Every structure is written in structure tokens, then in C-alpha cells.
Amino acid sequence: MRDIYLYEDSDVLKNLLNIKDKTLLDEAEADYVTYRLKEIAMCPLPGDYDYAHLLKMHQYIFQDIYEWAGKQRKLNIYKEEPVLGGLSVDYSDLFDIPKDSERVLSEMRDKAWKSMDKHEAAIQFSDSLAKLWRVHPFREGNTRTTVTFCCQYADAVGLNPNRELFEDNAQYVRTALVAYNAVFDDLGNKSKPEYLIKIVEDSITRDKW
């Protein structure tokens, strides 16, 4: 199936800037996204931490780059991951995205965050973050949107994560999310959650527990 998000005969995503060179698009995207993420860090994006709020977050972050910012993807995703020996995470089917997102977010909102110690909070936050990321609602920008969204929620419940730790270790975070979600129907559970839990626990700065 042809990827409707790409320019014809190209691996470059269609974009509002009409850039058709992948390196130039990556650079432009990084500049615009960094600016929007700083805005969100200074002024949180209001919402109820539901699926609609997640869509709104993606729209805000990528509004300068993609016409489909804030809209869920229209195709299924398969990404070969070196850390998984070329296999892909089993992302949500496109028709299950709203249901899967709402389930994870409902579970996240219902957790008793204020009664947890730091290690338990890190475990529970990592689980919510990883499960939401596995849904992969968007054609592009899932990691940045999911991490930003969950960090804003963590601020709201008093965990006060150090966002710079995630930003400065973006590749580690994505690899940790992949490793967390290494669960396969045929190969079984190969998940390694400890990498994500470690950086999440290191990021939590709440003083009183």
C-alpha cells in the first residue's frame, strides 16, 4: 500500500513548507517543534488528559509543519527496529486507536499518584507512557507528543519530571520505549522495562513522598 503521507516517489513527508529534501525537512521540523515545546513548557496546554487532549497536543506541536497535525493516522505502521533485530513493535491497528488511547489514559488518570513512593511512581508512570506510545496515533511525532503529554500530566499530579532529561536523551528514551513494548504474539514477552523506569525515576523531582 502506498504511503499517502509521502510525496510521490519519495520518502519525504508532505509538509506545509513544501520541502522535498528529507534532511532539510528534519532541520525545519526540529526548529519549529523546539519552539512549540518551549511554549508548552511555559504555558501548559489545557485539557482533560483524554484522547481529544492528546490530539490537541499533537496539533499544537506540529501545526507549523503538517496539514494533518492533530489528526490520527490513516494507515497501519510497521517500523523495523535494530534493537528488536529488525522486528517492529506491535502498534495499534488504526481502527483501534481511539479505544486503545482512551483505555490507557483512563487507567493513568485513575492511578493513586499521591500515595506512591518515588520508585512506584516511576514504575507506574513508565507503564502509562509506554502503553500510550505503543498506540502510536500519528503518522509522525508520536514520541515527542507522548512524552510531552505525559510529562505535562506528571506535572499536574505533582511528580514534577525534569523534561530536559528526556530532551537531552531523546534517542535513549525512544529505544527504551521500544524495549518496553517488545511483546509479541509468536515470540512471547521480551519486554525490558528497566531502561525506561530508570530514566523516569531519575527525572522525578518531587520533594515530598
pLDDT per residue over 56-72, tens digit each?
Answer: 999 999 999 999 999 99
Contact residues for 36 (Cβ-Cβ < 8 A; gap 6+): 60, 61, 62, 63, 64
List 6's β-bridge partners, or say none: 13
User: Among the residues of the chain, which ranges form H helices?
Assistant: 22-42, 51-62, 97-110, 118-135, 142-156, 163-168, 170-180, 194-203
Task: Residue 65: name the closest of 42, 36, 94 by CA.
Answer: 36
pLDDT of the chain, 209 residues: tens digit per residue: 689 999 999 999 999 999 999 999 999 999 999 999 999 999 999 999 999 999 999 999 999 999 999 999 999 999 999 989 999 999 999 999 999 999 999 999 999 999 999 999 999 999 999 999 999 999 999 999 999 999 999 999 999 999 999 999 999 999 999 999 998 877 778 899 999 999 999 999 865 55
Q: Which domains does the chain have, with CATH numbers?
A: 22-203 (1.10.3290.10)
Residue 25: per-residue pLDDT: 98
